[in-house]
A and B are shown apart, each in its own frame.
Chain A
Amino acid sequence: QKEVEQNSGPLSVPEGAIASLNCTYSDRGSQSFFWYRQYSGKSPELIMSIYSNGDKEDGRFTAQLNKASQYVSLLIRDSQPSDSATYLCAVNSGGTSYGKLTFGQGTILTVHP
């Protein structure tokens, strides 16, 4: 079992729709959770962080965390063509692993006009 697993994709949604990206993780001790966006040929860009159960909203983005189910998701409302990118879920276990992020393989999102 992979430590961090994302829905395989690619995911294609029409402009204006909600894009839903999912991620599960295996380490129950994980403490910090991040979503990164990566455009082709560029480095990952942090778009959301979440540390406690529940929802966290920032503009069109909502991150959801359920530690009991070891599940974290990212919703993108009113999707735009500029949201087309690879989305990476990353998990940090904290403690002696401070600084180590474990990434999923990424989900490619395409928003078509």
Chain B
Amino acid sequence: ETGVTQSPTHLIKTRGQQVTLRCSSQSGHNTVSWYQQALGQGPQFIFQYYREEENGRGNFPPRFSGLQFPNYSSELNVNALELDDSALYLCASSPGDGYTFGSGTRLTVV
């Protein structure tokens, strides 16, 4: 149990559709970050949220967006899905030393 919970575990979507992925971290973890990990690659930083505001973004287009809620949960939304969006999506929070990842959501775009 890492203290970071993601849902759903797996998801299959069609190209052009929209998807929402969810993450819940422990109380007090004000910062949440989202990563995309393609097969055989290291995770790539998408963005981070601190106290419900985005305060850092990686090299991802605007169709990747997010929200963070007062109860420490957050969402990653991806519009107009492309085949290359197929990946493992990870959220991470920092309990102190280092960053703890959730179990991830495996998204397949067909």
Expressed in whole angstroms, the minimum distance between the Cβ of A42 and any Cβ of chain B is 7
**Range, interface on chain A:** 20 to 34
With A43-B103, A43-B104, A98-B31 as contacts: A103 and B98 at CB distance below 8 Å: no
Contact digits for B83-110, partner A, Cβ 8 Å, 1 yes 0 no: 0000010101010011111111000000
State the CA gap A101–B50 with chains docked (Å).
15
Residues of A within 8 A of B94 (CB): 99
Q: A43-B90, A46-B100 are in contact. Are A103 and B42 (CB under 8 A)?
A: yes
CA distance A103 to B45 in the complex (A): 9
Best-surrounded residue of A49, A88, A98 (most CB of chain B within 10 A): A98
Q: Which residues of B contact A (CB under 8 A)?
A: 31, 33, 35, 40-45, 48, 50, 55-56, 58, 88, 90, 92, 94, 97-104
* A residues with CB within 8 A of B: 4, 32, 34, 36, 42-46, 49, 88, 90, 96-106
